[in-house]
A = this chain, B = another copy of it.
């Protein structure tokens, strides 16, 4: 049984116990021509999503690229989750997604991780139809098999799927590190409220600080 003294969430990464999970950075919602935005005019996007795309394209995606490069170089497992049904007609989706009228058919372009962050050969992608990847996929089983104890989480959106993943991962006993500047939400206020709400469930660090923990 683990001794309780010396337990802490502020534990630097141990590469062989760690994995990086990138949440929902897919064409659907991370590109202006993705399914979530394609019906909107450029004017609407400029008005309603300027802050989102600025944070995503200028900050979060470049940071995730740096994370990917460093984690792969350190042989840390890289995992992805995406919103994607297991069928084309979406009949396997959660009730929640059915109510939302939300279907990303299996194999669709919208389901693909964006090219800038594309999975490499033999990296795993978990298609999901729930906010929390832990509810609708077998990722907890896989993480257990991989021996992962520390889970680094980033992606979209801070206050929805990222936050649900962090809450459940923490409850399940993973030491969670959230990379704050590798996440984004629709507004900066939503992003920051979420960080404050869940700061007791994880360690929150910047990309820069996290990279400094990895062996060079």
Contacts and interface: CB of A to CB of B under 8 A. Distances in A.
Interface of A: 1-2, 4, 7-9, 16, 77, 86-89, 91-96, 98-101, 106, 122, 124, 129-132, 134-138, 141-142, 144-147, 159-160, 163-164, 167-168, 170-173, 175, 190, 193-194, 197, 200-201
Given A101-B4, A122-B89, A146-B91, A131 B170 contact: yes
A193 to B, nearest CB: 5
A168 B96 contact: no
Copies of this protein chain in the complex: 4
Contacts of A141: 94, 135-136
Contacts of A101: 4
Given A95-B145, A99-B9, A142-B92, A122 B87 contact: yes
Nearest to A136: B141
A124 B171 contact: no
